[in-house]
Structure 1
Amino acid sequence: MLKKLVLTGAAGRLGSYLREPLSKMCEELVSTDIAEGVGNLYANERFVQADISKFDEVESLMEGADMVIHFGAIVDEVPFEDIWGPNFVGSYNVWEAGYRHGVRRIVYASSIHAVGMHPSRDNIGVDAPHRPDTFYGLAKCFTEDLGRMYWEKRQMESVHLRILSAAQVTGARALGTWLSYDDLIQLVTRAIETPVVEWSVIYGVSNNDRAPVDNTKARHLGYKPKDNAEVFAEEILKDAQPMDPTDPGHSRLGGPFASVELGQSGLATMDIVDDKKIT
């Protein structure tokens, strides 16, 4: 069992599903967020309010930590000036503070938006070149490269989870991109438990018949998703309107993020159900 894990973004929707399983993997789970709290705490969990864009607040979390599960960020497209602190500086702060305190590995919530302008039909693998669709996606590219540099220069491991759609299936695109919460937990668990990861990238997607990406070169992580969005296909498609192949929002991996103007919300065009786990 690990001695200490740190979870950033613990008050977020995905963080709410990760807290309990992470608490079972370590003696102490430190959950942190810019929000004031996360609800009731698990037996070995403590909460620390912190702003990841401030180095001193991040550094104070890292003492004695084995690994960091870094999910803290602005999770939508916003103007560059707004995303710079949490998503760019915040990532640097986590890696640098972690390095100074001997953190062995960081598991990072990257995103499909790091490669969001690739055509969906190309079935890209984890070694596809970056093609960000937004400033949000650009921040994911930055952090993936940051993690690679810290591995190659400082031997600090990291796993970058390019999450596709970790939300309820409410539209046709999600039949390919869905990541169930159970598969999310398995994905993070594999990223923590795999003995050697060096610098790794893996797509966060369930075992969907229509999955638009290929995880073959990430098999060393042992991720074997169980769920398949095809069980929702009949219901989703019966009233679905034909997609426009000339619309990047329909033809590119980034979906709506591929068609919005830079700095404009991508989530505003999506039907995301807020089913955060309540503790």
Structure 2
Amino acid sequence: MKLKKLVLTGAAGRLGSYLREPLSKMCDELLSTDISDDIGTLYPGETFVKADIAKFDEVEPLLEGADMVVHFGAIVDERPFEEMLGPNFVGSYNVWEAGYRHGVRRVVYASSIHAVGMYPKTEFIDTEVPHRPDTFYGLAKCFTEDLGRMYWEKRQMESVHLRILSAAQVTNPRALGSWLSYDDLIQLVTRAIDTPVVGFTIAYGVSNNDRAPVDNARAAFLGYRPKDNAEQFAKEILGEAEPADPMDSGTMCHGGPFASVELGQSAVKGMGIVDDRKKT
């Protein structure tokens, strides 16, 4: 299925950098957008427009003629609520409302495990568990998932909410279960786009890890079948790790460091995430 027009928000981000090329091959026109001034060399059929998703008048014209939106634009860390409000809460409303006004059929949204991050890791959770956010960042994911459900039930606008666990290089024991490889990310987004009917769907963004702590069975109809497994890194990672503290919520909860950080304080700062975004 080749679409006429796709819109990608957050195109300058690390995950956006890996999505741009495969998305450009799925449509006649890929409109990539971000608050950054530049995203590098454009792929065939791709255009770039600088825009702030927190401003409706900048978002709305981008979605004209679009079939679907892949919405990855946001602050990707914990911040004070006032800083999150525009890009992470209002930005989601702007995408859905502008999409509705222009007849967009579906939004594929980068949700997060942090919408349910306070569940203990000893609980194998599925996509139907009630929200249990670990931060204001996670709360924004809950808001957008509920927004998507409402627009489906009230306005028949489809959405797939990808609860990404950790799409980054495996550098710690938690990632042995939570890793989402870039190849599997691309497959997951592709399935969220090319599945004929999705309604309102939540799916976990996680690779085929032996230690994966979540259950994607209810989203099996998407046809997402991850291929990569973080167990290949287990011997090295566990051999270098300090003993786990069972009283530390960052160790015991699905949200990892986001579960233990103070509200409004950065959780990403100490995670050692490698900025290996794809260069163009």
Q: What RMSD in Å do the two structures reach over aligned CA positions?
A: 0.4
1:241 matched to which residue of 2? 242
Equivalent residue of 1:207, what SS? Answer: coil
TM-score by length of 2: 0.99
CA drift of 1:36 comes to 0.5
1:141 matched to which residue of 2? 142
Aligned mates of 1:217, 1:253 — CA distance in 2: 19
After superposition, the C-alpha distances for 1:92-137 in whole angstroms (9 at most, x for unaligned) are 0000000000000000000000000001110000001100000000
Equivalent residue of 2:234, what SS? Answer: helix
Aligned mates of 1:209, 1:38 — CA distance in 2: 35
Aligned mates of 1:268, 1:259 — CA distance in 2: 13
Equivalent residue of 1:238, what SS? Answer: helix
Sequence identity (%): 77
Aligned mates of 2:18, 2:270 — CA distance in 1: 24
2:76 matched to which residue of 1? 75
Aligned mates of 2:164, 2:105 — CA distance in 1: 22
TM-score by length of 1: 1.00
1:90 matched to which residue of 2? 91
Amino acid at match of 1:24: K
Runs of 4+ in 1 over 6 A off after TM superposition: none
After superposition, the C-alpha distances for 1:11-56 in whole angstroms (9 at most, x for unaligned) are 0000000000000000000000000011000010000000000001
After superposition, the C-alpha distances for 1:150-207 in whole angstroms (9 at most, x for unaligned) are 0000000000000000000000100000000000000000000000000000000000
Aligned mates of 1:20, 1:88 — CA distance in 2: 27
Corresponding position: 1:9 with 2:10: yes
1:194 matched to which residue of 2? 195
Equivalent residue of 2:240, what SS? Answer: coil
After superposition, the C-alpha distances for 1:199-220 in whole angstroms (9 at most, x for unaligned) are 0000000000000000011111
2:263 matched to which residue of 1? 262
Aligned mates of 2:88, 2:217 — CA distance in 1: 28
After superposition, the C-alpha distances for 1:225-258 in whole angstroms (9 at most, x for unaligned) are 0000000001111111111011000000000000
Once the two structures are superposed, the pairs formed by residues 125-204 of structure 1 within 5 Å of their partners are 125-204=126-205
